[in-house]
Amino acid sequence: MENIIAVELILYFVLVFGVGYYFSRRKMTHSDFLLGGKQLPGWALAFSERATGESSWLLLGFTGFVFVNGLSSIWVISGMGLGIIVSWLFLAKKFMEERDKYDVLTLPDYLATRFPSHGKLIRYFVTILILVFFTFYLGAQIAGAGKTLLTTFNLNPIIGLLLCTAAVIVLAFLGGFVSVVWTDMIQSMMMLLTLTILPILAFIQIYTNDISLTAALDNAGNGVNSWTGGLTGFAFGALFFNNFTWFFGYLGGQPQLSSRFMALKNPKEVKVASITGIIWMVLAFLGAFLIGITAIALYNSGEFTDVETILPTMILDLTPPWISGILLAGILAAIITTADSQIMVVTSSVTEDIMNKSLKMKLSDKKWIFVSRIVIIASGMLGLIIALMSKSLVYAVVSWAWTGVGATLSPAILLTFFWKRYSGVGALATVASGLICTLIWINSPLEEILSSRFTTFFIASLFGIVFSLIYPDKAEKSIHHEKQVIES
């Protein structure tokens, strides 16, 4: 059995590496390496954005979360789903238009260019924010690979981490953003296959063994059988709101997702991508939720030392080896696609935002690509070190990163897009207050009362508005900047 699965996983990696190598042979500028050069179709970017956004968090973290918490977990994907719909319908086109208007490649560069008087500080602040949280986010993805390979082959987790890290580095190293998007597309389809087939197999197993799903939920206790988690009044309100707060991280502040919006070619491609992304989200979220629910009927929680291995365990138990290999590849696909996107965000932040725009280093495209590849290797190794040292859960680590980056930068993006009085000082206040709030809140008992995913978003928005009103940008500087943009 293990040999069949191993062969299929090897074939999967050969396919993905082959795609990456194919695109690495194309001649690229530094812009192409970091953002694709407007050569990618909308549907491929949508598959890439969705796979990047959900990663091992959805397949390992969320399925384990549902297994423990039951029906009330629906409010997590309700908040996330609404955020995804809003981002595709109302923000994707705006990102594309702003990229063209200001000729930028990254989220930090966009905010810095929009507020030139404070651009250098904004660029440093946002870049540091991304580097701090995304290295841990990357570590969480690599740790997820270790769990999958441990469950599948009883493989030493360290070997699993090394293999995953090597795969991530190679794919990003080969062809940059273009290579990552096309391999993401394949991996996104693998993820969707896993999340749609496994719930069907689980329901068949429940039916053929005459297992009562309702009775299993009732017997599990702890409010697992209730959409309210067994809570009423204020307690349920807190549970609902804290789960729903994932919504705030999807409002433009995740650079690994917004880069896909910025890479869109035209309004027609935006429409195609929006439909594709939303359909993918509905199918994948529903599948992940049903996997966790059916696992409650099939397993006892005491059987697992780590509930985030529910999905690979179900695959091995419910499918023949040749199907197991395909579905397990879906888990590794989720991990690799997100890790690659995070590495590209870190790489673009270091090379474009710090070295090129802040330090004004002048290199040829060939040398920029070489430097970018060095950063890719260094980032991957740092993520590996974090994965080896950290014992945090995938769900928790991703939640912190979603707060520190998404809930901090989303207010900055929304205010920049839709409020003309937003200022450079306001942008600095947004980022600084969001970072400080996140670090304080997630390390205090307050996190158990009200999620930092909301408090960070609220406080960052408030500071941004207040400081913009107190320290408005001078009109003549904005006009001068507009002229510079047009002339360039």
User: pLDDT digit string (tens) for 344-377?
Assistant: 888 888 888 888 888 888 888 888 888 888 988 8
| CB 387 within 8 Å of CB 225 | no
**What is the Cβ-side half-sphere exposure of residue 190, based on CA atoms within 13 angstroms?**
30
**Tokens representing residue 419 in the block:** 């409020």
Higher pLDDT, 107 or 426: 426
Higher pLDDT, 359 or 112: 112
What CA–CA distances, in Å, run from 93 to 96, 192, 276?
Answer: 5, 25, 15
How far is it, in rounded angstroms, from Cα 400 to Cα 407?
10
Region class of 210: left (phi > 0), else alpha (psi between -120 and 50), else beta: left
pLDDT value at 298 more than 70: yes
The dotted CATH code for 2-392 is 1.20.1730.10
**Residue whose C-alpha is closest to residue 472's, from 424, 417, 411, 414:** 424
DSSP classification of residue 60 = I
Percentage of the residues of the chain whose pLDDT score is greater than 70: 88
**Residue whose C-alpha is closest to residue 27's, from 343, 365, 260:** 365
Q: Scanning the structure block, which residue is given the tokens 């099939």?
A: 298
Quickly state the pLDDT bin for 396 (edges 50, 70, 90).
low
Per-residue pLDDT, averaged over 399-416, amounts to 87
How far is it, in rounded angstroms, from Cα 141 to Cα 56?
6
Q: Where are the domains of the chain?
A: 2-392
Per-residue pLDDT, averaged over 436-453, amounts to 85
**Tokens representing residue 393 in the block:** 């859960």
Per-residue pLDDT, averaged over 35-43, amounts to 81
pLDDT value at 479 more than 50: no
Which ranges of 354-451 would DSSP assign to H, the alpha helix?
A: 365-389, 394-401, 408-418, 424-441, 446-449
Torsion of CA 422, 402, 450, 63, to 10 degrees: 150
Higher pLDDT, 225 or 16: 225
Higher pLDDT, 444 or 273: 273
| Phi and psi, residue 219, nearest 5° | -75, -20
**Residue whose C-alpha is closest to residue 107's, from 463, 408, 439:** 408
DSSP helix, strand, coil percent of the chain (3-state; round to 5):
85, 0, 15
Q: Which residues of 417-441 are buried (b: 16+ CB within 10 A; e: fewer)?
A: beeeebbbbbbbbbbbbbbebbbeb
Would you give the end-to-end CA distance of the chain in angstroms? 60
pLDDT in the model for residue 487: 44
pTM over 0.85: no
Quickly state the pLDDT bin for 477 (edges 50, 70, 90).
very low
pLDDT value at 306 more than 90: no
| CB 141 within 8 Å of CB 379 | no
How far is it, in rounded angstroms, from Cα 290 to Cα 292?
5
pLDDT value at 148 more than 80: no
| CB 164 within 8 Å of CB 147 | no
